[in-house]
Amino acid sequence: MPESRRFVLAIATLWPLVITAPAAAQRGDGGSLPGPRALETARVGPVPDSPHRGFWEVLNDSTLNRLMEQALRGNYELRAAGARVENAEAARTQSALDLAPAVTASAGYTRRRLSSSAFPGTGGATFPSQDLWDSGLNLSWELDVFGRVRSGLRAQNALVGAADEDVRNTQVAVAAELARTYFELRGTQGQLAVARRNAENQRRTLELTRTRLEAGRGTEFDTERARAQLNFTLAAIPLLEERIAAAQHRVGVLVGRSPDALAAELGTDGSLPALPADVPAMPAEDVVRQRPDVLSAASRVAASRSFSRSARADYLPRLNLAATAGYTANAVDAFGNTGTFNYNFGPVLSWAAFDLGRVKARVDQAQALELEARARYENTVLLARAELESATVRYRTARARLDHLREAAAASERAAALATLRYEGGIDDFLQVLDSERTLLAAQDQLAQAETQAADAYVVLYKARGAGWPAEPGRNP
């Protein structure tokens, strides 16, 4: 068989390795690290690969469900996180291709003339100009004898896993922020309704004092005090309306739309959804283990460890196979003729024998980054545990406070009604009415705030659990 055909056959045998390299990237080295979840699933679904329902679905609030779906598809922070996954996957593919031969093609034309001074004894003769046409294939392949490239591939594979967990972590953060903003909106709308309702009651009280004054059974002092209390209540309304508008704009940004896109839809007053009566306990170790920020930190530890191994491999020699094959002729139509084919092939051994100082510096840097990654992982675990414990206590105490404030608001409402009846009957003076109305307004306002705070504590508990949520918790009647 001619040499040219033999070499082309060798290239054709090696070429499938280049094609299948991306598949090797998915497996890594020995399958020690799992492949990433599908990017589209990670970017779009409620929480990928979770056996639990989204916490917002448990609340059965159709508006919140619709907003959550829009946010998990259109939020720009999630799109940025998805782009980082694509970047990590591209880097992994590039690292995987280092395991396969690099084959390039080249072709060129050169016109040259040799200098007579370079050839003594020619008597100063002028050499003629020459045309040179060449084309061929160039192959370079590092035989990863000591695992340098494979370690780099394992590191990139771990970084893909970390980026994928970062998508889940961003999903959790976006869902939590949207829910908190939505609950703040509904809670503030509830406070506004309380303020308007009390303002209407206080208007009736003011009219009552005027009627009694005109009938000669009241005083100007009672009328002015009633007017002052009404205006204090009315003064709180613009501040509540401002908070409602800000929450509406924030919701628009979170779902990836213009800030005022949802103002009309969310402008209709709504109530906070009923919260679960209790949240079943989950083992703290299981919760921390499945949190995406902890999994991401663990993947980065694995990546830094593999990068450190790859750096240490530079202490050892590298073995490369290099080859070129092609045709060189002084005319285009001579390509392929006998004598125009040329090739070279052989192993190349290289070693940083006199540059080990730089190698050590790179190794020290990689080891320091590994120590940093380990420290960040341990800190992430501690923070996750503390956040979970604090969130559990916060939700429990918020529910207990809410129960007491409900009773206080109901009692204050009954007391205000009795004070008005006693004033109309001439049993008590007007001061009792004003005091009971102030107490009622404060109790109802605190109740509205406590309902928002309990909902916020529910979201904080969801976030602390890293999206893990029981499928069917008990609900308030």
In this prediction, residue 104 has a pLDDT band, given cuts at 50, 70 and 90, of very high
Residue 259's identity, in one-letter code, is P
CA triplet 252, 257, 259: central angle to 5 degrees?
A: 45
Report CA torsion sign: 411, 412, 414, 415.
positive
Cα(20)–Cα(349) distance, integer angstroms: 26
- What's residue 37's pLDDT? 36
Least confident of 150-154, 234-238, 256-260: 256-260
Widest CA span in the chain: 140
Three-state secondary structure call for residue 414: helix
pLDDT digits (tens, 9 = 90+) for 169-204: 999 999 999 999 999 999 899 889 888 988 888 888
- What's residue 76's pLDDT? 93
Cα(366)–Cα(363) distance, integer angstroms: 5
CA distances from 94 to 12, 23, 301, 452 (A): 21, 12, 21, 50
Pairing of strands 130-143, 341-350: unpaired
Q: Which residue is associated with the tokens 């404030």?
A: 405
**Burial of 369 per CB tally in 10 Å (0-12, 13-18, 19+):** middle
Q: Which residue is associated with the tokens 């509540």?
A: 240
pTM of the complete model:
0.77
- Contact present, 210 and 226 (Cβ < 8 Å): no
In this prediction, residue 119 has a pLDDT band, given cuts at 50, 70 and 90, of low
- Report, as an integer, the average pLDDT of 252-266: 86
pLDDT digits (tens, 9 = 90+) for 284-331: 888 888 899 999 999 999 999 999 999 999 999 999 999 999 988 888
Q: Which residues of 413-446 are buried (b: 16+ CB within 10 A; e: fewer)?
A: eebbeebbeebeeeebebebbbebbbbbbebbbb
- Report, as an integer, the average pLDDT of 87-91: 95
Least confident of 82-86, 160-164, 442-446: 442-446
Helices 148-214 + 356-424 axis angle, to 10: 20
pLDDT digits (tens, 9 = 90+) for 394-427: 988 998 898 899 999 999 989 988 988 887 787 8
- What's residue 118's pLDDT? 58
Three-state secondary structure call for residue 49: coil
- Kindly report the length of the chain: 477
pLDDT over 70 percentage in the chain: 83
90: its two tokens: 């591209």
pLDDT over 90 percentage in the chain: 43
Cα 78 to chain center, whole Å? 6
HSE-up (13 A, CA, CB side) for residue 241: 7
Element (H, E) at 131: strand 130-143
Does position 25 have pLDDT exceeding 60, yes or no? no
Q: Which domains does the chain have, with CATH numbers?
A: 3-103+147-316+366-464 (1.20.1600.10)
The secondary structure of 50-109 as a DSSP string is -SSPPHHHHTT-HHHHHHHHHHHHH-HHHHHHHHHHHHHHHHHHHHHHTTS-EEEEEEEE
322: its two tokens: 């290099």
Does position 392 have pLDDT exceeding 60, yes or no? yes
Cα(33)–Cα(303) distance, integer angstroms: 10
Q: What are phi and psi of 342, to 5 degrees?
A: -145, 155
